């Protein structure tokens, strides 16, 4: 991917070479400030004693402020201006660096520092209020916070006016190039396909999985998941696994990309699939061209494409039958008491059990997107002013009833369940999950078309061909290509629903003997 840098060749440097060097120096400092605050938040989520919380909050805030100040430094803007004047002389990588840094710079300078401070203070107050309101099932207590968040979200959007839709600036932050209209279109198509599928599955006898409700040794669970992650391609010389409440992946450098997971003693699925999900994110970050380290090019390209990698490894690969044909005997040996007498087929059905449920994070592959679409519709309604904050619980229940045929008995398992609206903006956070699901199947189909041996390799516990294809097409470029360019170049078409629907229909059609559609 990368060409040698202008400075390394020993030829006479062009005037822009010095500017590029200055720019990269500044960007590396911003990268390191951000990485240092990531180390602190990783520690906070894994090992920090509770007593460290107040000091840690200050320490993270100062590092983030310094990084933001450097990113919005007018001197940085002047370097970008000068490079743009001589853009014709730049190497492809430097031109990409200029484009991506310009995007980040323009986004950062449009938002006044005063707003950032105000919004951060509110987000942390709102998060604290939510931590009390959710267990107490007290939506009324959070209403004033959420109303203020809605105001702040609209104000945030206003910094990017004119826009096509008020949600557009938030969506563009996460998924560059994706419009509100595109999402509405694909969500309509997806809902149309999924709702009847969920109904048809609900009429079938549900897959028995009560036999899974037995204690599984924690260390053995963690070790099994990590061993598979490593075999998939997660490089443990440049990574590690720790326990946390909410699993995540974090990157401090290309040589240090960490994941966390959580363990439920009585449900082996939680730790295993959380580990593999985060390992998918981590393999993406580890696979970015090392030459981009320390610059804005050196990370995953968008939330949706990132999520496609966690979903590809977690769902498309690790919830597939060929995968378990290889790994199930090992798992049975490891947990002989619990699984020794359970046939592969029964296990495979249990890890792919479809059932309308109240909680998004526990949802299966088929119903998951319906949870996302509900949230997307509601946040767009709030932003457009069609839905009032006080009416959110009722709108939530109605949406759940319409799409999933069940409604939460209370707000704790309804509109209070996800942290997103209570600790950040309203808008822009949920669509990436479904984009990720759609793209996971599209990428996998393209990889398998290029290398038809991939499913057989997976059935042998081999992932090299798939991992290489992903590295060449998705991981390596980092942000040097735009998300839609990555999708189009690697799959031959823009984001499309067909491979995802074909994947769901085939897999769940077989599992639940659905009529072909
Ligand atoms: Zn994820």
Burial class (CB in 10 A: 0-12, 13-18, 19+), 488: middle
pLDDT, one tens digit per residue, over 127-186 is 989 999 999 999 999 999 999 999 999 999 999 999 999 999 999 999 999 999 999 999
Element (H, E) at 260: strand 256-261
Whether the ω angle into residue 411 lies within 30 degrees of 0, i.e. cis, is no
The pLDDT of residue 374: 97
The pLDDT of residue 35: 97
The pLDDT of residue 10: 45
The pLDDT of residue 9: 44
pLDDT, one tens digit per residue, over 256-306 is 999 999 999 999 999 999 999 999 999 999 999 999 999 999 999 999 999
Closest CA to 240 of 118, 225, 154, 209: 225
Closest CA to 313 of 191, 229, 407, 372: 229
The pLDDT of residue 208: 77
Distances in whole angstroms, Cα of residue 83 to Cα of each of 20, 211, 310: 8, 63, 36
CA of 434 relative to ligand 1 center, distance in Å = 11
CA of 205 relative to ligand 1 center, distance in Å = 30
Specify whether the CB–CB gap between 252 and 483 falls below 8 A: no
The pLDDT of residue 3: 41
84 is annotated as an active-site residue = no
- Beta-ladder partners of 260: 242
CA of 23 relative to ligand 1 center, distance in Å = 31
DSSP string, 418-429: -SHHHHS-SSSS
CA of 13 relative to ligand 1 center, distance in Å = 42
Q: What is the pTM of this model?
A: 0.94
CA of 307 relative to ligand 1 center, distance in Å = 5
CA of 444 relative to ligand 1 center, distance in Å = 17
CA of 280 relative to ligand 1 center, distance in Å = 8
- Beta-ladder partners of 264: 267
Distances in whole angstroms, Cα of residue 381 to Cα of each of 140, 145, 314, 318, 386: 19, 18, 32, 36, 5
CA of 310 relative to ligand 1 center, distance in Å = 5
CA of 188 relative to ligand 1 center, distance in Å = 23
Specify whether the CB–CB gap between 310 and 277 falls below 8 A: yes
The pLDDT of residue 15: 65
pLDDT along the chain (517 residues), means of 10: 42 73 98 97 94 91 93 97 90 96 97 90 91 96 98 98 96 96 95 94 84 94 98 98 95 97 94 98 98 97 98 98 98 96 95 95 95 97 98 98 96 96 95 98 98 98 98 98 98 96 96 81
CA of 258 relative to ligand 1 center, distance in Å = 13
CA of 435 relative to ligand 1 center, distance in Å = 12
The pLDDT of residue 7: 43
CA of 11 relative to ligand 1 center, distance in Å = 44
Q: Where are the domains of the chain?
A: 17-162, 180-512
- Write down the architecture of domain 180-512 according to CATH: Orthogonal Bundle (1.10)
CA of 20 relative to ligand 1 center, distance in Å = 34
Please pick, among 278, 285, 307, 379, the residue that the annotation labels catalytic: 278
């Amino acid at each position: 991917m990368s060409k040698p840098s202008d400075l390394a060749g020993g030829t006479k440097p062009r005037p822009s070479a010095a500017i590029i060097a200055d720019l990269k120096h500044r960007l590396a400092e911003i990268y390191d400030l951000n990485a240092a605050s990531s180390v602190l938040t990783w520690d906070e989520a894994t090992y920090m004693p509770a007593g460290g919380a107040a000091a840690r909050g200050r320490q993270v805030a100062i590092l983030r402020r310094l990084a933001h100040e450097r990113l919005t430094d007018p001197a940085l803007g002047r370097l970008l201006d000068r490079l743009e004047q001589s853009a014709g002389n730049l190497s492809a990588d430097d031109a990409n660096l200029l484009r991506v840094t310009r995007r980040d710079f323009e986004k950062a300078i449009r938002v006044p520092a005063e707003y950032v401070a105000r919004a951060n203070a509110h987000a942390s107050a709102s998060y604290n209020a939510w931590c009390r309101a959710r267990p107490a099932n007290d939506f009324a207590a959070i209403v004033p916070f959420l109303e203020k968040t809605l105001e702040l979200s609209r104000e945030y959007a206003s910094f990017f006016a004119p826009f096509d839709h008020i949600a557009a600036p938030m969506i563009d932050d996460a998924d560059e190039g994706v419009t509100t209209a595109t999402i509405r279109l694909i969500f309509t198509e997806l809902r149309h396909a999924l709702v009847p599928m969920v109904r048809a599955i609900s009429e079938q006898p549900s897959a028995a999985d009560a036999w899974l409700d037995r204690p599984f040794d924690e260390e053995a669970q963690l070790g099994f998941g990590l061993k598979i992650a490593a075999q998939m391609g997660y490089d443990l010389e440049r990574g590690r696994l720790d326990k946390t409440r909410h699993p995540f992946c974090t990157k401090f450098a290309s040589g240090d990309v960490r994941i966390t997971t959580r363990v439920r003693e009585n449900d082996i699925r939680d730790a295993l699939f959380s580990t593999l999900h985060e390992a998918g994110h981590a393999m993406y970050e580890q696979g970015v061209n090392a030459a981009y380290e320390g610059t804005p090019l050196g990370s995953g390209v968008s939330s949706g494409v990132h999520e496609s990698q966690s979903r590809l490894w977690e769902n498309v690969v690790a919830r597939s039958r060929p995968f378990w044909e290889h790994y199930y005997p090992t798992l049975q040996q490891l947990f002989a008491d619990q699984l020794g007498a359970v046939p592969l087929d029964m296990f495979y059905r249990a890890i792919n059990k479809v059932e309308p449920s109240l909680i998004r994070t526990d949802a299966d592959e088929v119903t998951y997107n319906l949870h996302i679409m509900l949230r997307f519709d509601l946040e767009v309604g709030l932003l457009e002013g069609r839905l009032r904050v006080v009416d959110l619980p009722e709108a939530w229940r109605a949406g759940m009833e319409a799409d999933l045929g069940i409604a939460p008995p209370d707000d704790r398992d309804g509109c209070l369940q996800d942290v997103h609206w209570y600790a950040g903006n309203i808008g822009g956070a949920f669509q990436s999950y479904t984009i990720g699901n759609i793209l996971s199947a599209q990428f996998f189909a393209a990889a398998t078309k290029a290398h038809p041996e991939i499913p057989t390799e997976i059935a042998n516990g081999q992932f090299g061909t798939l991992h290489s294809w992903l590295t060449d097409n998705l991981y390596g470029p980092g942000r040097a290509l735009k998300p839609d360019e990555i999708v189009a170049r690697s799959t031959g078409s823009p984001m499309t629903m067909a491979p995802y629907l074909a994947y769901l229909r085939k897999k769940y059609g077989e599992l639940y003997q659905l009529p072909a559609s």
